[in-house]
Structure 1
C-alpha cells in the first residue's frame, strides 16, 4: 500500500489539499489531524486534489465528509478534483457526488470554488 502523503497550498481565496496514496483506517487519524491544521479559517474554500489516490475506503470518505460538512456549515465551499476510478465509484455509490462537486482538474475545481465564493 502506498503511504499517505499530504501537502497543501494556500492560493488567493482557496486552499488546495493534495492527497497521494491510499486512504483507509490505518491513516484516517493522520488525515483528519492534517486537515484541522490546514484550515486557516472556519469558512475555508477547499479543493481536494485526489488525483494521487488510487483507493479510498469508508474511513477516508468519512474524514472528507466531516471536513466538508464543517466547512459548508460555516459558509465555505468544498470541491474535489482528479478523482480516480475506485474512489469515484465510492462517491457514486454513497451519493457524495450529489453534494460535493467533482472536477476533472485542480484548475477547474479552483475556478469553480472561487466562483462559488463570489456568488455567496
Structure 2
C-alpha cells in the first residue's frame, strides 16, 4: 500500500499501474516490465525516478547479459557493512555496459532540449 501511494504521489515521473517490478530498491527505482507495451516499445526497462532516466531493453536476454557482464567486469561488487553484505554498483564502470545492451533515454534531458519522448510523460 505504501509503495503504491509512493508511486502515485511522490514520483510523478511516469509510473504506471501496469508496471511489474522485477528488481526494485523499494524507493521507486529498479527494473520493471510493462505488459501493456510491446517489446519494441520498451516493455522491459530500468527506471531511475529521481532523474527521470530510463534504459529500455529489447529483451530479457539483453538485461541478463548486461547483468552478467557487470559482474564479470567488476561493475557489481559484494560489499559489507555493519548490517551485513550487500551489492554495490560502480556506476562509472556500469554505464557503458548498460548502454551496450539497452538504449538510454533521459526524458528530463529531452525536455530541456525541447524534444518529446514518445510514451513517457
User: Normalising by structure 1, what TM-score?
Assistant: 0.29
Structure of larger gyration radius? 2
More helix by share: 1
